[in-house]
Amino acid sequence: MSREPEKASASNGAATTSQRIDKWLWCARFAKTRTLAGKFATSGAIRLTRDFETARVEKASTSVRVGDRLAFLIGERMHVVEIMGFGERRGPASEARLLYTDHSPPLAPKEDALLPAMREKGAGRPTKKDRRATDRLKTEEA
């Protein structure tokens, strides 16, 4: 028996109801590689909410379903996403955005960007002319 008919029937069958979390993170472009997605999942940094129960994800093989919510930090940004679908491949970003709905809190406003330092005349570092005048005063005092 060949495996071709089995693959064809599996792909023609009903939609997938669950997927491994490492594969989903990779397909949704939250991780650059599948290996990094697996390490991220095993780090315990992801919280999975299903049916109003929250649990820490500790295995890369944890399966996620449509409707599950994931909460995790990437850098200093908190991501809260609801799974809306599964990807069969890691496609473009526009395709990846269809896999989830983002419920992340808004970014904290950045402090006002520092404007270029505007000094008043005579404040701050002395000019060459000022340094020469200071040197003349020092030599006259000595």
Domain ranges of the chain: 16-102
**pLDDT digit string, tens, across residues 71-129:** 999 998 999 999 999 999 999 999 999 999 999 999 877 766 556 656 676 677 888 88
- Contact by Cβ (8 Å): 95, 87: yes
Which superfamily does 16-102 belong to? RNA-binding S4 domain (3.10.290.10)
CA angle 89, 94, 96 (to 5 degrees): 40
Q: Is the per-residue pLDDT at 142 higher than 50? A: yes
**pLDDT bucket at 37, cuts 50 / 70 / 90:** very high
Tokens 């990779």 appear where? Answer: 26
**Mean pLDDT, to the nearest integer, of 127-132?**
87
- The predicted structure's pLDDT at residue 112: 60
